[in-house]
Chains A and B, each alone.
Chain A
Amino acid sequence: MPVVNIEVSETPLVLYALRRADDALILGHRLSEWCGHAPMLEEDMALSNIALDLIGQARELYTYAAKAEGKDNDEDKLAYLRDVRQYRNLLLLEQPNGDFAQTLVRQFFYSAFADLYWRAMMTSRDTTLAAIAAKSEKESAYHLRHSSEWIIRLGDGTDESHARAQAAIDHLWAFTGEMFAVDDGERALIHADIAVDPGTLRGRWLTTLSEVIGEAMLKLPQNDWMQQGGRVGRHSEHLGHLLSELQSIQRTFPGQTW
């Protein structure tokens, strides 16, 4: 018997929490795919640890989204019983792991943003979001340090690692614009001091990128055409495959618990 997708009443606040929850879950899941496959044990543990932090953030955000919605949904339903079109994460985060450089560049682009974003969110007038931010910003700082070190190591490493890192930067660059976009619903939350305007973070984000990428002897692309759609459910072909794995147990055995 097919499992029916849940419906979510996406008020601006629900949608806001849901988008950040989806970001954390999808990137966390992508990183968890490295578990047992990373090039060395320390890195296997590092990527799994970062995945764990992100999935933890996702749980808190889903729980809050469900509470803000005030219906029958909870963190598990939001994670397991929505289909591709209902997911609201950034396109960047659902991109496949690719090689190690691609995974680390994706992580670096996002962590450099998340570090600034969560720190700014600590002063949100929404006390739950502020509390989630207080934890997440510390975790993001670790994640940023980890990926920054790798960008430098790869860029300033061998010809091979340099070429792969540069290819990853060039490939993923077009997905970064979406991090700074806002819609009308978010604009209202920004005016109410519940959300932060991500556009105000872009300058400092670019500074972090320039410093690290410069030291890594790599180059930022000059093109500014950006791909968007994840925030409204228009995803790349990769998300469906990811969800089929992430959701397979709940779709096969509805309501099953460990």
Chain B
Amino acid sequence: MVTVLEPHNELRQRAWDAAASVVDPEIPVLTIADLGVLRDVVVDGDHVEIAITPTYSGCPAMNMIALEIEVALERAGFHRPKVRTVLSPAWTTDWMSAEGRRKLHAYGIAPPQASNSRRALFGEQAVVCPQCSSADTELLSEFGSTSCKALWRCRACREPFDYFKCH
């Protein structure tokens, strides 16, 4: 039976790599693997099933991500791939990889901070400017261009920037 397992694993890896190449349509520098949205890939005979988890409850990118996974899998030679949504355990920004955080920063979006800073009702967080790396920044709006971002401004270089909210 060991002989069957080997090609099966290769197949799963191929399916995983195809799914992992899909990027977030709203932040195209991040793949769904960087984001931690890609949870599992199961290959069973001719069937391949991809499990993803939503980020924010109402994130409209999820539908598009599911569609693009299907396209990527079809291109990689998998017939009629199935995309399944799993809710548990719930996604948090802690699922984002270190590589994902680095890419975000380089792209000009401040990466999410550690989750314990979130609770304070009026507490200010120290978000570092992705342009000039100054910590002298201020919140402009809790809600930004997408559900996952807040709008900040750097007092040092005067540039506004997006902050990927801690979730």
Using a CB–CB cutoff of 8 Å, the interface residues on chain A facing chain B are 28, 42, 45-46, 48-57, 59-60, 127-128, 130-132, 134-136, 138-139, 141-142, 144-146, 148-149
Q: B21 at the A/B interface (Cβ < 8 Å)? A: no
Taking the closest CB of chain A, its distance from the CB of B112, in whole angstroms, is: 12
Q: Which residue of A lies closest to B145 (CB)?
A: A45
- Selected from A51, A52, A142, the residue in CB contact (under 8 A) with B165 is A142
Q: B142 at the A/B interface (Cβ < 8 Å)? A: yes
Interface contact A134-B90, CB-CB below 8 Å: yes
Interface contact A53-B57, CB-CB below 8 Å: yes
Q: Which bucket holds chain B's interface residue count?
A: 20 to 34
Q: B118 at the A/B interface (Cβ < 8 Å)? A: yes
Taking the closest CB of chain B, its distance from the CB of A181, in whole angstroms, is: 25
Interface contact B122-A54, CB-CB below 8 Å: no
Taking the closest CB of chain A, its distance from the CB of B129, in whole angstroms, is: 19
Using a CB–CB cutoff of 8 Å, the interface residues on chain B facing chain A are 54, 56-60, 87-92, 118-119, 121-122, 140-145, 147, 151, 165, 167
Assembled-state Cα–Cα distance A3/B118 (Å): 46
- Selected from B59, B121, B167, the residue in CB contact (under 8 A) with A145 is B121
- Selected from A45, A57, A130, A146, the residue in CB contact (under 8 A) with B57 is A57
The interface residues of chain B lying within 8 Å CB-to-CB of A130 are 88
Interface contact B88-A56, CB-CB below 8 Å: no
Interface contact B142-A145, CB-CB below 8 Å: yes
Q: Sample 29 A-B pairs with CB under 8 A, ordered by A number.
A: A28-B58, A42-B143, A42-B151, A45-B141, A49-B147, A51-B58, A52-B59, A53-B56, A54-B57, A55-B58, A56-B56, A56-B57, A56-B58, A60-B57, A127-B88, A128-B87, A131-B89, A131-B90, A135-B54, A135-B87, A138-B92, A138-B167, A141-B119, A142-B142, A142-B143, A144-B121, A145-B142, A146-B142, A149-B122
